[in-house]
Chains A and B, each alone.
Chain A
Amino acid sequence: KQEVTQIPAALSVPEGENLVLNCSFTDSAIYNLQWFRQDPGKGLTSLLLIQSSQREQTSGRLNASLDKSSGRSTLYIAASQPGDSATYLCAVVGGATNKLIFGTGTLLAVQP
């Protein structure tokens, strides 16, 4: 059974700092991995999707990497801003099922 874990559970950084969020999964047979952002009481916003054949994806200040063999992904946020404060979730799709299995989330607070 696929399990997805995110470390750290919570992170507080001063504005302007670069930071890395970690995601690990137990079964390397994934179809893709998706990073989401969730603001308090809101739905999820898709940030980046990495297909199993890819190593990384970039969007603006965000860069996500994927190492399938070791079961790990990282989300790098450059020059953090208070508006980046949210919960960040990673999720994997195993095989061709379309079913997302979510990680435990990292609550990020960027202090002005």
Chain B
Amino acid sequence: SAVISQKPSRDICQRGTSLTIQCQVDSQVTMMFWYRQQPGQSLTLIATANQGSEATYESGFVIDKFPISRPNLTFSTLTVSNLSPEDSSIYLCSVGQGTTYEQYFGPGTRLTVT
């Protein structure tokens, strides 16, 4: 299984600022994903981070608000821009491996916007 780390583990940010979250994997993977988990809710997919091309965003999520970079097969960043209190959530990255598409998750980044 893949080992995934995320930085920062948590942050408190002011309204209107941005936060960039890093996701590092211990092996090369093709598919990386970013999820949001709002308080008391389940996970919602934000986008699929593709190496060497633009990320693919799910309905309701846009690149201006959630720009994603994927410079290589082991690393990705998610930026949450122009923060509002509604962005307070846990953000998680995951990777899919093998032919079974089993997914493994990072520890998450807890964001609080004041």
Contact = CB atoms under 8 A, between A and B. Distances in A.
Interface of A: 31-32, 34, 36, 41-46, 49, 51, 89, 91, 93, 96, 98-105
A89 B42 contact: yes
B63 interface: no
Most buried by B among A44, A51, A91, A105: A44
Contacts, number: 58
27 contacts: A31-B101, A32-B100, A32-B101, A34-B103, A41-B90, A42-B108, A43-B92, A43-B105, A43-B108, A46-B1, A46-B102, A46-B103, A46-B104, A51-B100, A91-B103, A96-B101, A98-B101, A98-B103, A99-B33, A100-B43, A100-B103, A101-B45, A102-B42, A102-B43, A102-B44, A104-B42, A105-B42
A89 B94 CA distance: 15
Contacts of B6: 43
B94 to A, nearest CB: 8
Nearest to A107: B40
Dominant SS among interface residues on chain B? strand
B25 to A, nearest CB: 13
B110 interface: yes
A66 B103 CA distance: 18
A93 B101 contact: yes
A34 B104 CA distance: 10
Given A43-B92, A44-B92, A34 B102 contact: yes
A35 B24 CA distance: 23
Interface string B89-107: 0101010100011111111
B42 A99 contact: no
Contact of A99 (B1, B45, B90, B108): B45
Contacts of B107: 42-43
